[in-house]
Amino acid sequence: MNTQKKTIGKRMVGFAAAGIVALGVGCHSNAVDQGAFKSAINNYYSATPVCVWSSSVKFPAQADTSNEEQTKGFDALTDAGLLVRSSAEKKRFLIGSKQVNDYDLSDKGRSTWTADASQPGYGNFCFGHPEVSTIDSYSPPNDNGATQYTVSYHYGVSTVPDWAKSAEMATAFPKIAAAQANQQTATATLAKSNNGWQVTSVNPPATNPSSNPPLPQ
């Protein structure tokens, strides 16, 4: 009798264990692969460099020495070794002259410069690519059968070159400090394809340096 009870007890334990395993498998099969979302978004961002200016610029460039908004970015890049600076006097018709600074790429700057293929002579100083730091939420939740998701996340730039790490650069170009904080947020729409998840849209949109540049600020 005791032997029979022991046998029944072992069977019940076995059934319970099998049930737990089956439940675990079921939960796992419904889990969403957040790592795949992160990889897809990072792949999308890999073609979008983050640069000091929002638009491509051309060198040599000139800035009024009395206008700090014009000179602070140039001067920070000069201190970082990417530009060379010289003083000049610009004559103005009928109203005398004014002091200006002329800026051009240094040898180090030329090797760091990212040329704009759409505008010969224009380019930018880029310091990395956006990278997802955390996946915050996704919709629909816990449905691995969905073919489209809306994913919210935090991102930043994880690897920043030495020339962009100074306090002067962070002051002149606040986007550098913001990028390193990994606290920027965005939402992406991902669609399933034969090649895995593909980003169809991002808000706010990722942008490359554009044409018709203003004077750098």
Tell me: the pLDDT tens digits for 142-163? 777 899 999 999 999 978 999 9
Query: Could you say which of 76, 99, 124 is where a domain stops?
Result: 124
Say whether both 142 and 112 belong to one domain: no
Q: Which residues pair with 86 in a beta bridge?
A: 102
Locate 76 and state its tokens: 């920070």
Say whether both 180 and 77 belong to one domain: no
Say whether both 89 and 181 belong to one domain: no
Say whether both 93 and 181 belong to one domain: no
Q: Is 149 exposed, middle or buried (0-12, 13-18, 19+ CB in 10 A)?
A: buried
Structural domain total, the chain: 2
Which domain does 170 fall in, by range? 34-52+127-205
Say whether both 188 and 172 belong to one domain: yes
d(CA 134, CA 124) in angstroms, rounded, equals 28
Tell me: the pLDDT tens digits for 192-211? 999 999 999 999 987 654 43
Q: Is residue 143 part of a domain?
A: yes
Please report the pLDDT score of residue 207 as a whole number: 65
Q: Is residue 178 part of a domain?
A: yes
Give the residue-averaged pLDDT of 132-137: 95
Least confident of 15-24, 59-68, 194-203: 15-24
Say whether both 135 and 198 belong to one domain: yes
Task: Work out the mean pLDDT of the chain and round it to a whole number.
Answer: 82
Tell me the C-alpha to C-alpha distance, in Å, between residue 172 and each of 58, 75, 177, 199, 216: 18, 9, 10, 32, 11
Residue 98, pLDDT > 70, answer yes
Say whether both 135 and 112 belong to one domain: no
Residue 59, pLDDT > 60, answer yes
187/5: higher pLDDT: 187
CA atoms within a 13 Å half-sphere pointing along the CA-CB vector of 4: 1
Please report the pLDDT score of residue 96 as a whole number: 60
Q: Is residue 8 part of a domain?
A: no
Q: Is residue 16 part of a domain?
A: no
Please indicate, yes or no, whether the overall pTM of this predicted structure exceeds 0.75. no
Say whether both 133 and 112 belong to one domain: no
Say whether both 48 and 70 belong to one domain: no
63/17: higher pLDDT: 63
Check: CB of residue 154 under 8 Å from CB of residue 103: no
- pLDDT above 70 covers a percentage of the chain that reads 78
Give the residue-averaged pLDDT of 125-135: 95
d(CA 84, CA 105) in angstroms, rounded, equals 6
Say whether both 97 and 74 belong to one domain: yes
Say whether both 152 and 192 belong to one domain: yes
Say whether both 119 and 160 belong to one domain: no
